[in-house]
């Protein structure tokens, strides 16, 4: 089966081939308007599609544990004519100094971390690298949806890569669990709940739980 890192390295070219848009486009476009500019960390950036709403006026840094995904991010940025620094690293041990970033994104990242203590460290690291008053937006898969009814909270979800099936680890969250984790790590929750629908921003998409959080100013 391989580790999650090995799986994402293997699936990176296929992933690049099927997704050339932000996963939560409406939410991210609103964030770009809200934040207006600044230094943004994209934690678990994959091939970089979630950078698109932030191409103008932002200093972009992407981190991922998969070298394959970071290579595909170079292709994606060349195609869409923008640039971002790319760093290989672990979400639970971020290679950045304290208070480095004005804002951060973590889209579909934390649900791939396999143990509870590492998930806690990852969110604590998010808080550490934000400047005081800085905001972050994150999303995780929602356990409370029909697809996962009566299934384990920790499971492997398949991805087809040609004739090969690759299995990615997911920890499925409830909204209460995510809120508790964010508060335990000292973040202020500005809002938490479903994402906007891809097709219609006035509708909710309950496949994801999204949270906008802030590091206290002091």
Give the tens place of pLDDT for each residue, 138-197.
999 999 988 898 999 999 998 888 888 889 999 999 999 999 999 999 999 999 999 887
Is the per-residue pLDDT at 135 higher than 60? yes
- For residue range 6-57, what is the model confidence (pLDDT) as tens digits? 888 888 888 777 777 888 999 999 999 999 999 999 999 999 999 999 999 9
Q: Does domain 4-214 have CATH number 3.40.30.10?
A: no
- For residue range 201-215, what is the model confidence (pLDDT) as tens digits? 777 788 999 999 999
Instruction: Answer whether 0.85 is exceeded by the pTM.
Output: yes
**For position 7, what pLDDT does the model report?**
84
**For position 103, what pLDDT does the model report?**
98
CA distance 134 to 109: 19
**For position 160, what pLDDT does the model report?**
83
2: pLDDT confidence band, cut at 50, 70 and 90?
A: low
Q: Taking the domains of the chain in order of start, what are their residue ranges? A: 4-214
Is the per-residue pLDDT at 132 higher than 90? yes
**For position 114, what pLDDT does the model report?**
93
Q: How many helices (H) and strands (E) does the chain have?
A: 5, 9
């Amino acid at each position: 089966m391989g580790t999650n890192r090995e799986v994402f390295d293997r699936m990176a070219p296929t992933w690049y081939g099927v997704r050339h848009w932000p996963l939560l486009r409406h939410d991210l476009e609103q964030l770009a308007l809200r934040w207006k500019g600044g230094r943004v960390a994209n934690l678990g950036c994959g091939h970089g599609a979630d950078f698109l709403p932030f191409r103008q006026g932002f200093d972009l840094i992407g981190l991922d544990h998969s070298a394959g995904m970071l290579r595909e991010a170079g292709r994606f940025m060349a195609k869409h004519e923008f640039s971002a620094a790319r760093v290989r690293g672990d979400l639970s041990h971020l290679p950045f100094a304290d208070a480095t970033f004005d804002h951060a994104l973590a889209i579909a990242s934390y649900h791939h971390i396999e143990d509870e203590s590492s998930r806690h460290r990852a969110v604590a690291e998010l808080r550490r690298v934000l400047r005081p008053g800085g905001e972050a937006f994150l999303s995780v898969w929602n356990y409370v949806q029909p697809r996962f009814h009566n299934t384990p909270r920790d499971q492997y979800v398949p991805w087809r890569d040609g004739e090969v099936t690759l299995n990615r680890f997911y920890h499925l969250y409830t909204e209460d669990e995510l809120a508790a984790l964010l508060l335990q790590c000292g973040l202020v929750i500005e809002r938490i709940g479903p994402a906007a629908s891809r097709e219609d921003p006035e509708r909710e998409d309950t496949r994801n739980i999204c949270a906008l959080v802030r590091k206290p100013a002091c």
